[in-house]
Structure formats: C-alpha cells, structure tokens
Amino acid sequence: MWDPVTQTLPRGDIEALQQRRLEHLGERIWETPLPFWRRKLEAGGFAPGDVLGLEDLARVPVTVKDELRRSEAEHPPFGDYRGAPLKDCIRVGSTGGTSGVPTFALWTRADLDDDETAAARMFWRQGLRPGFVLANAHPLGVYGGGRSLTSALEAFGCLVLAVGSLDTEAELRGAIDLWRRCPPLAYQIFPATYVKVYEAAVELGLDPAGDLNLHPPVEHPDGAERTITGGTEGFAFLGSACPEGGGAHAAEDRCIVEVLGDDGLPVPDGEMGLFTITTINRDNFVLRYNVEDYVVVNPEHGCPCGETHRRVRWQGRRKDRVFVGDEWFLPGRVARVIFADEAFRTPTMEYQVVRRRENDRLHVRVEMDSSRFGAAAPAAVRLAAALEASLGVPASVDVVGRGTLPRPPYKPERVVDE
C-alpha cells in the first residue's frame, strides 16, 4: 500500500477522523461565511454556530449539479459555493459539458495535494511505482483530465511523457517520435486515441508493441465497475479499484460516502443507489453532493488486501438510464453482452445505445470489421439474440463499419438520443 497506516485505520478511527474534519467544515461554513453552503445548513435546521457532525449530516439537504450550475450563472464565473477565495486557487478545470452547461472545478494547492495523495494510492494499486516512465495521451486543456493526471503522476514520482489529444498529423508524429525514443512502461490512453496511434505507427513502418511498447488499453466493462465514479468531475481520485476485485476503496479519510435512494433516504449496503459525497479534506469542498451516478457499496466488510476503507462499485450515470417500456437499465449491462463477442470488441469496442421516443425495444449500434468477421446482417441477428437473452427485452442491432461512430479525444458517449 502507498499509505498503510491510513489505508488500514480501524473503522472507529476512520469515523473519528471524519467527525473531526466534518466539524471543522461546519465551522468554516459559519465563519467564512460561505453563502451557498450556509443556506444548505439553515435549510437543514441548523442555526449559526451549530456543530455539524456525522449524526446530523443527513439533515443537510442534498445538492445536485443543476444547483451548482445555477450558482455559477447567478454569481459568474465560479458561483457562491466555493470553499476558497479565487486568489487562493491555482487551477481550473471543467466537466466536458456532456450533460448540459459545464461547471468549473477549482483547486487550491492544498486541494491538488489532496487529489494527489488519493491518486498515489490508486497508482500503487495499479502496479505503478515511483521511477516509472509513463505516457499520458489524455487531453491536457481545461476540459480534459490529462493535466491533473500528469501532475498527480509527477507528485507520485513518475516521469510523464504527456502529449495531449493528438488532433493533428504533426502532433501524432511528434508523439510517436517521443515514445519511440523513450518507450514508456505504460500508457494512459483512451481506446480511440490508441487506435489512431496504432494505425499511424504501422503506417510509419513501426511495430507498435515492439517499438513503442504500445498495447491495447483494457476496456473490459468490469473495469468501469471497479472504479468509483465515471471518472468525470474531478472526482476520479475519491477512491480507486482494489486489485482483489470487489470494488474501489473509497478514500474515507477524505470523503464521506452515502448511497441514497430516489427518496433521499439511505439504501442498505449491497443495493444500488445514488452516490452522494462530502469531501472533508479540501478547501473547495462539496457537502452532500449527489453525483447522480449509481453505485453499490460492497456489503462485505474487510477486504483480502487488508484495507479497511469501504468498497464502492460504480454502475453508471443516472442520465444514461435506458428505458424499455417502464423498465430501465444502465448501459454497462449492454456493454457486457457486446464485449462477450470477439467480433465487436476487436480491435476496440465502439458502440452506442440509441434512445428513441418509441421505447418498445432496445436499439444498439455497434462497429465491426466485416473483412475479418463476416457479413453484418447475421452478426446483428446474433447480437440482438444475445441482448434479448441477457436483458429480457426486445432488441434491435445495427452493425456498422469500423470508423462510423464518433471518436472524440475523451470517453465517447455511449448513450445517444435520436
């Protein structure tokens, strides 16, 4: 473990630490003052100066993204929910705006330290070690997570060959030249970018595996479920996948995790609910923020790896729910069925679940290389049958050629509305 003392704290000590940090957060809200959060405490029946503790936390009304968006519109550009004044912030990032107007994330130096500490646990669990040479091909701008990833890896002690999103031919060739001269041990790369680099390298007469140490990124659908969030919103470092399986250990020394039903009440461990977090070790914190992702807390306490922090399994985003009739499910279930078929996951898995007004059946669009895996029509019938058997709803499938679906430089949207 990166930090064995913290990662194996007895439950009682974790809760005592959470209580202390939460009380301090409450004091800051009253004393600074922080208008947005002060209104939340007052709406929960707290009076100025009241102590905010673990037992009373559930009285604070939950906050959702739309409220942050509104706060930013009313108090531009950064809203009135920031825990730190702008002069203390040194980095700005933004969600990609895939679910409406993007909101900004702000970090102070202490916030970056907090992220980097949690990230170090993640890197260690992934088998990375200080001293490694790594490549980072994630977008580096305000709208991408690449910059935070690079600085976290540098803080961990790695040398990072960061190249950004490789939008032009010159950028692509420059990156390949860099990686050929100094082959990284591992890549942080999205599948769409991997394919782009792979094809360009072959065109240049290189062997991607031998010359660049470039291998296909792991994209098994179970991989997503082992993380703690969809990876957006700057919350990727709240916890990270345990190599033993069973979910991602939340960084409970820095974050209080609640899982709530649509009625706002807690759901038992083992049942799916909405991931709601309170970050207790940051200047720019959130208090009972509903990420609007579905998660399950692993009901088995104690992990074979020895960590004492609870394990959380990410299930999908609420906005990606797919309705067939009155029933809904998350696209991860569709992804598992597609992944089981080699023809649809080679060399990468490119698919969309298409939501239409008529929701009497599930619609899926998926890419396949017909020159390798045969005609599209029988493949479509095969996948539709597999989807119907697994999900229990009628399904129709369009099999399209490789390169048909969008290839954004970040994670593609898997659920589209038509």
Give the interface with Zn ion as residue ranges (CB under 5 A).
Answer: 242, 244, 303, 305, 307
- For the CB of residue 82, give the shortest distance to Zn ion in the complex, in Å: 34
CA distance 72 to 310: 33
Could you please report the per-residue DSSP string of 69-96? HHHHHHSTTT-S--SS-GGGEEEEEE--
Give the residues across from 248 on adjacent strands. 241, 312
- For the CB of residue 195, give the shortest distance to Zn ion in the complex, in Å: 33
Query: Which residue lies nearer to Zn ion by CB, 141 or 302?
Result: 302
What's phi and psi for 366, nearest 5 deg?
Answer: -145, 145
Query: Which residue lies nearer to Zn ion by CB, 148 or 240?
Result: 240
- For the CB of residue 302, give the shortest distance to Zn ion in the complex, in Å: 9
Six token digits for residue 134: 């790594």
- For the CB of residue 38, give the shortest distance to Zn ion in the complex, in Å: 38
Query: Which residue lies nearer to Zn ion by CB, 65 or 309?
Result: 309
Query: Which residue lies nearer to Zn ion by CB, 154 or 244?
Result: 244
The residue among 295, 288, 235 whose CA lies nearest residue 264 is 288
Query: Which residue lies nearer to Zn ion by CB, 89 or 241?
Result: 241
State the pairing for strand pair 133-136/159-162.
parallel
Burial class from Cβ neighbours inside 10 Å (0-12, 13-18, 19+) for residue 282 reads buried
- For the CB of residue 305, give the shortest distance to Zn ion in the complex, in Å: 3
- For the CB of residue 155, give the shortest distance to Zn ion in the complex, in Å: 23
Residue bearing tokens 């609910």:
273
Query: Which residue lies nearer to Zn ion by CB, 245 or 264?
Result: 245
Give the residues across from 94 on adjacent strands. 104
For 326-356, letters b (16+ CB in 10 Å) and e give: eeebbbbbbbebbbebebbbeebbbbbbbbe
Q: Is the Cα torsion angle 366, 374, 379, 218 positive or negative in sign?
A: negative
Query: Which residue lies nearer to Zn ion by CB, 128 or 192?
Result: 128
Query: In this structure, which amino acid lies at residue 240?
Result: S
Query: Which residue lies nearer to Zn ion by CB, 244 or 292?
Result: 244
- For the CB of residue 80, give the shortest distance to Zn ion in the complex, in Å: 39
Q: Could you say which DSSP state residue 147 is in?
A: H
Inter-residue contact 135 to 179 (CB < 8 Å): yes
- For the CB of residue 51, give the shortest distance to Zn ion in the complex, in Å: 33
Stated as kind and residue range, the H or E segment containing 4 is: helix 4-7
